[in-house]
Amino acid sequence: MDIDPPPNGNTTTTTTVDPSPPPPSNLPQLSESLKLEHQFLRVPFEQFKKTIRSNHRALEKDISAVISTVNVVAASDLSPDDAVNHLNSLISRLQGLKRKLEEGNRAENIQAQRCRARIDHLESADAENMSEWNNTRLNRILVDYMLRMSYYGTAVELAECSKIQDLVDIDIFQEAKKVIDALQNKDVSPALAWCAENKSRLKKSKSKLEFHLRLQEFIELVRAENNLEAVKHARTYLAQWGATHMKELQRVFATVAFKRDTEYAIYKVLFEAKQWDFLVDEFRQEFCKLYGMTLEPLLNIYLQAGLSALKTPNCYEDDCPKEDPLSQEPFRKLATPLPYSKQNHSKLVCYITKEIMDTENPPQVLPNGYVYSTKALEEMAKKNNGRIICPRTDFVCNYTEVIKAYIS
């Protein structure tokens, strides 16, 4: 509100109104996006928490060691030279701790920046740039699919070309790739290290991955006919599982007697190469659960959801319109195991008014075969002295020539 004195000395009040309307809110679009973007936000957040926990554990370990050393030195009767040496050792250790804290702080900042970038991306969804936003989402979904299918090089190139490095999880999948490659080469060491690093989280989810890795180690020792080492391994790593997995342990321990060339199927299967494939699949499942990822690639989920929404019994009829994606055989095969759309009843919508045609506003058929609502044709007849003009073919007729259609 501006108050300006006029030339004659009287005071008048003038109100300045901003004619531009307030910017439209993108809250509805954001809310809809958040329903589908749980993994998109959860993954970097879980990685952020993991980095913080790792830095905290390292800090506690070093601080505890330094304090312990100080207490020992303080309680000892050391010569001046020995005291100086101990102090120099402590200073070196504290300097190393400082470097670790700086590195940890940089890692945390990177993770926080990634979380911020993803939140900003979701908040940028509005009507003006929805096409561009959806293109970015499509690229994210494709990168996710490529990473899960082990096409790492292509995924990196697409992310770089699209400039969406902060919106995809390449580094996390690279971490998983090292474990998967090792398992495919019959090496459980990286997988066991990963289990140790995430021990508390895996314990909460009651994961059996570490147990199965230890069992495979036992089987490999038996395969090599190193039974003594196999027994030592069982006492060291498998005894702790006896209370909860005794049946599995008994079955595996029996391989010491039946050997690798046994013909008994129950033991023979334990020596087959596919056991390593089972471990790879189990690791992938635990990896996805740890970071809150979906077990299926996002591309599969979106594609299945879309096909299921379109799938109706009419899609498999010979007269299915060509505009329907399910009229094509490849899409029909993909949709075969999917459920039908829950919309059991069709709706007739008037081409002119876009209103639903029902018993209150029944459809009427023109002589040329096109159907419109009673409301639309009555309004058109009033404006044109009882004449009807088909908006799609320009066919002209009298209102008395239309025929009412009945919905059963």
- What are the structural domains, with CATH classification, of the chain? 37-170 (no CATH), 171-295 (no CATH), 299-335 (no CATH), 348-404 (3.30.40)
Q: pLDDT band at residue 15, thresholds of 50, 70 and 90?
A: very low
d(CA 111, CA 54): 13
- Report the pLDDT averaged over residues 136-143: 93
Q: What is the pLDDT of residue 345?
A: 63
d(CA 220, CA 214): 10
State percent of the chain over pLDDT 90.
36
Average pLDDT, the chain: 84
Q: HEC string of the chain? A: CEEECCCCCCCEEECCCCCCCCCCCCHHHHHHHHHHCHHHHHHHHHHHHHHHHHHHHHHHHHHHHHHHHHHHHHHCCCCHHHHHHHHHHHHHHHHHHHHHHHHHHHHHHHHHHHHHHHHHHHHCCCHHHHHHHHHHHHHHHHHHHHHHCCCHHHHHHHHHHHCCHHHCCHHHHHHHHHHHHHHHCCCCHHHHHHHHHCHHHHHHCCCCHHHHHHHHHHHHHHHCCCHHHHHHHHHHHHHHHCCCCHHHHHHHHCHHHHCCCCCCHHHHHHHCCHHHHHHHHHHHHHHHHHHCCCCCCHHHHHHHHHHHHHCCHHHHCCCCCCCCHHHCHHHHHHHCCCCCCCCCCCCEECCCCCCEECCCCCEEECCCCCEEEHHHHHHHHHHCCCEEECCCCCCEEEHHHCEECCCC
- pLDDT for 14 beyond 70: no
Q: pLDDT band at residue 375, thresholds of 50, 70 and 90?
A: very high
- pTM across the whole model: 0.68
- pLDDT for 387 beyond 70: yes
Identify the bridge partners of residue 364 per DSSP, sorted by sequence position: 372, 404
Q: What is the pLDDT of residue 83?
A: 76
- Both tokens of 246, joined, read 């005794």
- What digits encode the pLDDT tens for the residues 52-65? 888 888 888 888 88
Taking CB atoms within 8 Å and a gap of at least 24, the contacts of 112-119 are 112/48, 113/166, 114/44, 114/47, 114/48, 114/166, 115/41, 115/44, 115/45, 115/48, 117/166, 117/167, 118/40, 118/41, 118/44, 118/166, 118/167, 119/41
CA-angle at 377, arms to 375 and 381, nearest 5°: 120
d(CA 160, CA 402): 61
